[in-house]
Structure 1
């Protein structure tokens, strides 16, 4: 647009653009960068927490223990969650192993005591 009070500023001829004033603008593109993978570590920790509620299964803590070991080796960003999963799942796997040994010990003690009579 031209300023009627300033005769030095006139409309540019047809096909030309008025000069741009000020510094050129730069467009900043902000992108989402995906963090390092932590899927195995998160799954191990979740299965460890599920094992607290569903500890009656042997499969859930065992799978969580395996995923925790693999997650600890392959996903350094999820190290804390992998260690949490390892501890929780490890406790339940050890608990199951002790329970099985206890049942086998009781069974062995009762079979030997019945043959001695």
Structure 2
């Protein structure tokens, strides 16, 4: 349940690295512990994995943009 909640929070609260990573770990642990809430754990894992992947892509894009603009930082 907490993995699903953290997945939903990470959608609303913008891109972060910490919240989806914690939610992903909690979702994997919930799959092993509670077979009754398997569907919620799977949805939590999917949401957190998508948000973590999105955060990584946004971070890489920002780093690439920053490196591309670095030569222009010293003009002026």
TM-score under structure 1 normalisation?
0.55
Q: Could you tell me which of 35, 38, 55 is aligned with 1:96?
A: 55
Distance 1:46 1:64 in 2: 8
Please give the alpha-carbon distance, in whole angstroms, between the structure 1 residues aligned to 2:14 and 2:30: 21
Structure 1 segments (4+ residues) deviating >4 Å: none
Distance in 2 between the 1:106 and 1:46 partners? Answer: 32
Task: Establish whether residue 61 from structure 1 lines up as the match of residue 14 from structure 2.
Answer: no
**Is the contact between residue 15 and residue 51 of structure 2 (CA under 8 Å) also seen in structure 1?**
no
CA-atom RMSD in angstroms: 2.0
C-alpha distance in 2, partners of 1:72/1:95?
Answer: 23
Paired residue secondary structure (2:16): coil
1 or 2 for the larger relative contact order (CA 8 Å, sep ≥6)? 2
Larger Rg: 1
**Residue segments in structure 1 that go unaligned for 5+ positions in a row:** 1-41
Say which SS state the counterpart of residue 67 (structure 2) adopts: helix
Q: What is the aligned length? A: 74
In 2: Cα distance, 1:88 partner to 1:61 partner: 8
Structure 2 CA distance for aligned equivalents of residues 43 and 59 of structure 1: 14
The yes-or-no answer on 1:52 pairing with 2:11 is: yes
